[in-house]
């Protein structure tokens, strides 16, 4: 992020009354459990979920080029909740009128510039952090086919978005994430970490 | 969950004032971004984080037995935020005076009954859902070695905990998760899904 004129800086963290929140909220759930006992649970939730009933997509991607090893493009951006630069797959909220595939293609284009991706698989809806929130997402796996002379594409970021791209050979993905995690003020997203760890486990394990 | 006398049921979901919340909270972050512009961000956070600075551990586990294929034990529990039974690896919050390894061994024992696990790897701290929360976790990979005649261990659940265990061959893990996702009122946790998807990708892909 050396091209940035400023290092992001938090100036205040304050309690946010639920009545003033636009994007997130806090709920109390009263429920009766399996034994018939009344209990309660505290939950954070997004306020932006549309018709589809799914908050977000992440775009697991394979970048194929005639003369380079298969790669994946990761995005790095300052995330205020962590006060750190997070390494993630491209991702974003699903707009009200979108399917997960459409949201995935749009977000990939906005955040990385890659325009023509082939959708390989759309995961079922899975729960982001089930003890704390109802937030959910789908993992859309895509393939991007580049030609020999293709120039790096241009990002189409929204105003205020500041996202760095990094293209990493799939075979080095796990090692690269560990490198990032050693850098000051860098964090890796848990979902990306788990996918890379599953891949690495399969490649190095002795069990199956 | 056929042995359960009641199906859990939500009776009310209400706004939870930040001042009344015990476990979770909502914060507004004011910050100055890379371009020098003042912005704000809404964040959910846990109120339980201890000295270690890490909220939780998940226990990625390999169960080895002389005459059975390598397996992993998953836990299924009703999660009020999803109003569903979630399929996850054993996991839990790190107590104030614990290391991640200690929390992992304790939670594995409580939720599954397996007492003697060998820690293979403790991941760096990764971010659970970086756009919404500061929640973070570490993935602790462990190996459990069983002997031929070992009886299934007893769980040591807290009062009110109701957790079903399921032991799945590693080679079938991805397919089993898809089976669960087809069942009514079952959801898979995103982190477990990503690990299994990474494993399956490595086993079936043509790239590396």
pLDDT digit string, tens, across residues A40-67:
999 999 999 988 899 999 999 999 999 9
pLDDT value for B1: 44
pLDDT value for A30: 98
Stretches in chain B below the pLDDT threshold 50: 1-2
How many domains does chain A fold into?
A: 1
Chain A nearest C-alpha distance from B153 (Å): 22
Beta bridge partners of B127: A189, B136
Residue A118 resides in a domain: yes
Residue A48 resides in a domain: yes
Chain A nearest C-alpha distance from B85 (Å): 10
What is the four-CA torsion angle of A135, A136, A139, A140, rounded to 10 degrees?
-100
Chain A nearest C-alpha distance from B191 (Å): 5
Cα separation of B16 and A40, whole Å?
A: 11
Verify whether the Cβ–Cβ distance B12 to A26 is below 8 Å: no
Find where tokens 């270690």 sit: B52
- Residues in chain B closer than 8 A to A198 (CB atoms): 194-202
pLDDT value for B5: 66
Verify whether the Cβ–Cβ distance B78 to A34 is below 8 Å: yes
- Mean pLDDT, rounded, of chain A: 94
Residue contacts between A and B (CB atoms, under 8 Å): 343
Cα separation of B202 and B208, whole Å?
A: 8
Verify whether the Cβ–Cβ distance B31 to A80 is below 8 Å: yes
Is the Cβ of B166 closer than 8 Å to some Cβ of chain A? no
Is the Cβ of B2 closer than 8 Å to some Cβ of chain A? no
Find where tokens 């996850």 sit: B88
Verify whether the Cβ–Cβ distance A18 to B15 is below 8 Å: yes
Angle in degrees, CA B36, B41, B44, rounded to 5: 150
**Which residues, numbered 12 to 31 in chain A, qualify as contacts with chain B under a Cβ-Cβ cut-off of 8 Å?**
12-31
Domain CATH number, residue A172: 3.90.79.10
pLDDT digit string, tens, across residues A127-183:
999 999 999 999 999 999 999 988 888 888 887 789 999 999 999 999 999 999 999
Is the Cβ of A184 closer than 8 Å to some Cβ of chain B? no
Residue B97 resides in a domain: yes
Residue B51 resides in a domain: yes
Q: Which two tokens stand for residue A111?
A: 């955040």
The range of the structural domain enclosing residue B82 comes to 36-148+155-205
pLDDT, average across residues A25-35: 96
Is the Cβ of B51 closer than 8 Å to some Cβ of chain A? no
Verify whether the Cβ–Cβ distance A15 to B24 is below 8 Å: no
Chain A nearest C-alpha distance from B103 (Å): 17
Verify whether the Cβ–Cβ distance A194 to B189 is below 8 Å: no
pLDDT value for B52: 81
pLDDT value for B123: 97
Is the Cβ of A123 closer than 8 Å to some Cβ of chain B? yes
Residue B106 resides in a domain: yes
Is the Cβ of B162 closer than 8 Å to some Cβ of chain A? yes
Query: Any idea what DSSP says for residue B133?
Result: B
- Residues in chain A closer than 8 A to B54 (CB atoms): none
Chain B nearest C-alpha distance from A197 (Å): 6
Is the Cβ of A176 closer than 8 Å to some Cβ of chain B? no
Chain A residue with the nearest C-alpha to that of B84: A130
Q: What percent of chain A has pLDDT over 70?
A: 98
Cα separation of A42 and A39, whole Å?
A: 11
Is the Cβ of B111 closer than 8 Å to some Cβ of chain A? no
Chain A residue with the nearest C-alpha to that of B187: A126
Per-residue pLDDT band for A5 (boundaries 50, 70, 90) equals low
Find all residues with CB under 8 Å of A109, minimum gap 6, and list them: A115, A156
Q: Is the pLDDT of residue A100 over 90?
A: yes
Predicted ipTM of the assembly: 0.95
> Burial of A99 by CB count in 10 Å (0-12 exposed, 13-18 middle, 19+ buried)?
middle
Cα separation of B94 and A46, whole Å?
A: 25
Contact B160, A39 (CB under 8 A): yes
> Burial of A177 by CB count in 10 Å (0-12 exposed, 13-18 middle, 19+ buried)?
buried
Among B98, B100, B113, B107, CA closest to B63: B113
């Amino acid at each position: 992020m050396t091209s940035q004129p400023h290092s992001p800086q938090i100036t205040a963290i304050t309690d946010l009354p639920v009545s003033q929140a636009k994007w997130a909220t806090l709920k109390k759930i009263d429920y009766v459990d399996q034994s018939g006992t009344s209990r309660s649970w505290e939950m954070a939730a997004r306020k932006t979920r549309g018709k589809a009933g799914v908050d977000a997509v992440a775009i697991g991607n394979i970048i194929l080029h005639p003369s380079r090893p298969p790669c994946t493009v990761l995005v790095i951006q300052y995330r205020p909740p962590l006060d750190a630069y997070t390494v993630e797959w491209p991702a974003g909220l699903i707009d009200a009128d979108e399917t997960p595939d459409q949201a995935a293609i749009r977000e990939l284009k906005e955040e990385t510039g890659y325009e023509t991706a082939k959708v390989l698989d759309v995961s079922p809806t899975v729960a982001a952090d089930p003890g704390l929130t109802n937030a959910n997402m789908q993992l859309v796996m895509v393939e991007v086919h580049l030609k020999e002379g293709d120039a790096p594409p241009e990002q189409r970021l929204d105003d205020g978005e500041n996202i760095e791209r990094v293209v990493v050979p799939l075979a080095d993905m796990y090692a690269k994430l560990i490198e990032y995690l050693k850098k000051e003020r860098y964090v890796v997203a848990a979902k990306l970490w788990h996918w890379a760890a599953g891949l690495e486990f399969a490649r190095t394990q002795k069990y199956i």
